[in-house]
Copies of this chain bind each other. A is one copy, B any other.
């Protein structure tokens, strides 16, 4: 029999996963969890795929803004849009604040139908290339995490992505990247307007966010709104995932909370897990130590980071 976690090195993290699954999936175990309650949730950026040097979606938005400015140069005079189009996200935040930068991101595809957006995102992701690794972003998913998702599904878990990124963007490739269908992706989104276009009804993207970004407490709230069950397995890598993990951790069942520690500058990146929307929050590594969560060291626990070939 092949090892389902073959890219994981022997160690505490791999052992914690194996022990946990034995505890909750063995009908003779005191911690047994019935199948309908086996819900696993994972952050996307930095947990399932590479988020450095910038979010994949940021590159998508930057290209879009560049196209828009080429067509309507006056747009580039807006300092927030100008910085974003130049790939300077920090600059955009410094002049417009986080809210202003995010507003420009939300507005970047306003007026496009949901169907057209999904097609554009899917198409862009087939070829758009990472600046350092020089392969398509879509190949920079973490092989050990793909194996974990498969192992969870083999143990009758339903696996969901719960991302701070745009739900329509991640859905465009979630099936291809992770085997996760569109309805099992929970994320941030813009408001859509039902609009008659010719003889058909289309959903058209507006420039307004729908509720708050899917980070922090919003992740737990949106898990309930969308999934309707408390997860028992949760994985993340920044303080924006802390509430989601603690929500799983404090349910009535035994839980497995995984924190991906980016400590591998050679094969990927080394950085601490600060929140994008709440930079002052406790880094998730400290929370993990406090609450006894399983920390996954990319350098030590993963024999391989990205899929081969």
**Segment 101-151 of A: residues with Cβ below 8 Å from B:** 114-115
Are A183 and B227 interface neighbours, CB within 8 A?
yes
Which single residue of chain B is at the shortest CB-CB distance from A203?
B224
Q: How far is the CA of A169 from the CA of B199 in the complex (A)?
A: 36
Q: Looking at the complex, which of A21-29, A242-250, A258-266, A277-285 is the stretch in contact with chain B?
A: A242-250
Chain B min CB distance to A190 (Å): 10
Are A225 and B192 interface neighbours, CB within 8 A?
yes
What per-residue 1/0 map shows which CB atoms of A210-246 lie under 8 Å from chain B? 1100000100110011111110000000000001001
Are B220 and A194 interface neighbours, CB within 8 A?
yes
Chain B min CB distance to A160 (Å): 8
Which single residue of chain B is at the shortest CB-CB distance from A184?
B183
Contacts of A158 in B (CB 8 A): 183
Contacts of A154 in B (CB 8 A): none
Are B194 and A229 interface neighbours, CB within 8 A?
no
Q: Does A181 contact B (CB under 8 A)?
A: yes
Copy total for this chain: 2
Contacts of A220 in B (CB 8 A): 194, 201, 203
Chain B min CB distance to A265 (Å): 34
Contacts of A168 in B (CB 8 A): 228
What per-residue 1/0 map shows which CB atoms of A166-208 lie under 8 Å from chain B? 0110010001000001111100010111100001110100000
Q: Does A36 contact B (CB under 8 A)?
A: yes
Q: Known interface pairs A194-B217, A201-B243, A220-B194. Does A226 touch B226 (Cβ–Cβ under 8 Å)? A: yes
Q: How far is the CA of A191 from the CA of B227 in the complex (A)?
A: 15
Contacts of A246 in B (CB 8 A): 201
Which single residue of chain B is at the shortest CB-CB distance from A229?
B182
Chain B min CB distance to A217 (Å): 4
Are B167 and A247 interface neighbours, CB within 8 A?
no
Contacts of A194 in B (CB 8 A): 217, 220-221, 243, 247
Are A250 and B201 interface neighbours, CB within 8 A?
yes
Which single residue of chain B is at the shortest CB-CB distance from A246?
B201
Are B199 and A167 interface neighbours, CB within 8 A?
no
Interface residues of A (CB under 8 A from B): 36, 114-115, 158, 160, 167-168, 171, 175, 181-185, 189, 191-194, 199-201, 203, 210-211, 217, 220-221, 224-230, 243, 246-247, 250-251
**8 closest Cβ pairs, A-B complex:** A182-B228, A200-B250, A194-B217, A183-B227, A171-B228, A201-B247, A194-B220, A201-B250
8 further A-B pairs in the complex, CB-CB below 8 A; given A183-B228, A200-B250, A201-B250: A36-B181, A158-B183, A182-B229, A192-B221, A193-B221, A194-B221, A201-B247, A210-B225
